[in-house]
Chains A and B, each alone.
Chain A
């Protein structure tokens, strides 16, 4: 066995060490990138929103603003645009209230296992539509659903739909009644509105085609 002239290429020791070094290098690189990414995907603050500083994931108080999804020439795809203030369920939510609402919304999103039918940010199951930009969906903006449900504002219509989806079926494949309470429904709508403000590098793509086609997109005017 102790063949001295044997090539290093067939040495188990050489390959074991190479494997260890390559793995360690990859891990260190991943850690370094993770530190940067985690910094960039931490939620912004209410101050950022007031000053118009754009964060990839804005503060929960983004629910107090009008949100749009528009094509950016500079980046070559659609990006969320945060506009003027608008009431959400008829009021402006303080940073504390908004954070509590988003917390409840995310909890409900998990407790009802939404992601095992829908996708969020494109991840999940493929049995129901993607929810990434559900808040901006033309179906809710062109009056179809608000008229069907009989509510004045989009957020009220969405909350009512979430509480009684079986009353307002749109297709044979419909959403089951998940016994969502009024509070949970409002929180879920806040969660969806917040998600629509996340900068997803242009996913879903060409959302505005659909918005124009149905004449209800937020950026179709």
Chain B
């Protein structure tokens, strides 16, 4: 198997950017998922969901930036973008599941059995 990853030399001044951007990828990622959840649960106003999408856009940008900073190939960059589009749907799928399972397993609030 021929390797598709080339490992270029990184100059000392390239590292800080890589670490910061890699952290931002996950921070924006959890921000997006968290805000969508909070907005759907009604803890924050519905408008915050649009802010969540902004987080997602930022995440796409920083991930692309990270792929440039580590000199990854065009192929890898394409995979990353596809992954980001999949991630756009993840919290929605997640919330759909939460919603459906709540409907199925606890049909009404008053029927709730207190477990101790």
Are chains A and B touching in the complex at the 8 Å CB cutoff? yes
A residues sitting closer than 8 Å to B (CB atoms) are 1, 3, 6-7, 9-10, 76-77, 202, 205-206
Chain B at the A interface: SS class: helix
A3 to B101, CA, bound (A): 12
Q: Is the CB of A10 within 8 A of B101?
A: yes
Chain A at the B interface: SS class: loop
Contact with A along B1-32 (1 / 0, CB 8 A): 00000111100000000000000000000000
A10-B100, A10-B105, A205-B7 given. 16 additional CB < 8 A pairs?
A1-B105, A3-B104, A6-B100, A6-B104, A7-B100, A9-B96, A9-B97, A9-B100, A10-B97, A10-B101, A10-B103, A10-B104, A76-B6, A77-B7, A205-B9, A206-B9
What is the number of contacts between chain A and chain B, taking CB atoms within 8 Å?
Answer: 23
Partner among A6, A7, A9, A202 whose Cβ is within 8 Å of the Cβ of B7:
A202
The 8 closest A-B pairs by CB, nearest first: A10-B101, A10-B100, A10-B104, A6-B104, A7-B100, A76-B6, A9-B97, A3-B104
Interface magnitude class on chain B: 10 to 19
A3, closest chain B residue (CB): B104
Contacts of B96 in A (CB 8 A): 9
Contacts of A202 in B (CB 8 A): 7
Contacts of A7 in B (CB 8 A): 100, 104
Query: Distance in Å from the Cβ of A208 to the closest Cβ of chain B?
Result: 12
A76 to B105, CA, bound (A): 57
